[in-house]
């Protein structure tokens, strides 16, 4: 007689009923309630979008920018949404102004937990076209300005709650580009700075990361909006076929500042629709 086999079927898998081991649900891991944040370049573009995300996540936010009028407009805009922000008029190129701004933020909020270094400029031109004063202006703003704000903030971040830093770099630190010598060099320096700061800050629990945006629709790209050739290039050079929005970057920054990324440091994260793939 042939032996009969009983076919056993596995019991259907069910999702666990218990929350994550730390007792928080997924949305709560992106919350920043009670955290105190400072955002440079926070009056417009990517910086303002980041500030909005942090406010929505429950953080107290100070905006630092050299444009007082833009700061006031941003404050009014957030006020219509029911949020109050601290505005700090300062130039990241001026060490004394940066020091005063950081300390005022700390005095107002009682400490500092989160820093976003988003202040930056661009200057297109080949190495033969960009003279040393233009080169120095880009390097000083994008790289030295980032170093300056981090240096002033670190002593306070060491005493902060789950401290984290995010610097806004660029896809051009990863791929380079014609007419981008100064800008690419400055942002490549930011990436290197972030990795070193991550190593230095890790023993104190300070996480340091960067985001590397691709082509993002901001005031910097407005001059190209009416240039069909330029816009076609931006889209064709981006595998996802569109320009990014400031909110695309802001969402990534929120992740990198939140408990959801508690084991992430020293990362330079492209937010570029695939531009850094080099297609």
Q: Which domain holds residue 54?
A: 30-269
Residue 60 CA neighbour count, 13 Å, CB half: 13
Cα–Cα distances (Å) from 67 to 71, 164, 249, 278, in that order, read 6, 26, 22, 35
User: What is the full per-residue pLDDT of the chain (279 aa) written as tens digits?
Assistant: 444 444 444 444 443 344 444 455 558 899 999 999 999 999 999 999 999 999 999 999 999 999 999 999 999 999 999 999 999 999 999 999 999 999 999 999 999 999 999 999 988 899 999 999 999 999 999 999 999 999 999 999 999 999 999 999 999 999 988 889 999 999 999 999 999 999 999 999 999 999 999 999 988 777 777 788 888 888 889 999 999 999 999 999 999 999 999 999 999 999 999 999 976
Give the chain's domain count: 1
Instruction: Classify 110 in phi/psi space as left (phi over 0), alpha (psi -120 to 50) or beta.
Output: left
The confidence score (pLDDT) of residue 177 equals 85
- Residue 169, domain member (yes or no): yes
Cα torsion 144, 145, 146, 149: sign: positive
The confidence score (pLDDT) of residue 9 equals 46
Cβ–Cβ < 8 Å for 99, 111: no
Q: Can you name the residues that pair with 64 across neighbouring β-strands? A: 40, 88
- Residue 66, domain member (yes or no): yes
Q: How many helices (H) and strands (E) does the chain have?
A: 9, 7
- Residue 101, domain member (yes or no): yes
The confidence score (pLDDT) of residue 25 equals 55
The confidence score (pLDDT) of residue 16 equals 38
- DSSP letters along 139-158, please? HIIIIIHHHHHHHHHHHHHT
- Residue 19, domain member (yes or no): no
- Residue 136, domain member (yes or no): yes
Q: What CATH code is carried by the domain that includes residue 242?
A: 3.40.50.720
The confidence score (pLDDT) of residue 27 equals 82
The confidence score (pLDDT) of residue 279 equals 60
- Residue 15, domain member (yes or no): no
Q: Please list the active-site residues.
A: 183
- Residue 52, domain member (yes or no): yes
Nearest of 166, 32, 41, 43 to residue 109 by alpha carbon:
32
**Taking CA 244 as the corner, what is the angle to CA 236 and CA 78, rounded to the nearest 5 degrees?**
160
Q: Can you name the residues that pair with 117 across neighbouring β-strands? A: 40, 167
- Residue 167, domain member (yes or no): yes
């Amino acid at each position: 007689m042939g032996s009969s086999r009983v076919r056993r079927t596995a019991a259907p898998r069910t999702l666990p009923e218990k929350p994550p081991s730390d007792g928080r649900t997924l949305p709560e891991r992106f919350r920043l309630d009670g955290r105190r944040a400072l955002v440079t370049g926070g009056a417009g573009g990517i910086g303002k979008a980041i500030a909005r995300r942090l406010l929505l996540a429950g953080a107290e936010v100070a905006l630092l920018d050299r444009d007082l009028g833009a700061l006031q407009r941003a404050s009014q805009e957030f006020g219509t949404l029911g949020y109050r922000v601290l505005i700090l008029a300062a130039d990241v190129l001026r060490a004394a102004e940066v020091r005063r701004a950081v300390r005022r933020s700390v005095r107002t909020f009682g400490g500092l937990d989160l820093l976003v270094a988003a202040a930056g400029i661009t200057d297109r031109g080949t190495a033969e076209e960009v003279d040393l004063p233009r080169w120095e202006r880009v390097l000083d703003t994008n790289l030295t300005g980032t170093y300056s704000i981090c240096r002033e903030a670190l002593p306070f971040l060491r005493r902060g709650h789950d401290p984290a830093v995010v610097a806004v770099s660029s896809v051009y630190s990863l791929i380079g580009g014609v007419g981008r010598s100064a800008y690419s060099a400055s942002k490549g320096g930011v990436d290197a700075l972030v990795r070193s700061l991550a190593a230095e800050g890790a023993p104190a629990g300070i996480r340091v990361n960067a985001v590397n945006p691709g082509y993002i629709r901001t005031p910097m790209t407005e001059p190209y909006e009416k240039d069909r050739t330029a816009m076609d290039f931006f889209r064709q050079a981006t595998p996802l076929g569109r320009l990014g929005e400031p909110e695309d970057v802001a969402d990534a920054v929120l992740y990198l500042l939140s408990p959801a990324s508690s084991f992430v440091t020293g990362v330079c994260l492209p937010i570029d629709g695939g531009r850094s793939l080099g297609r």
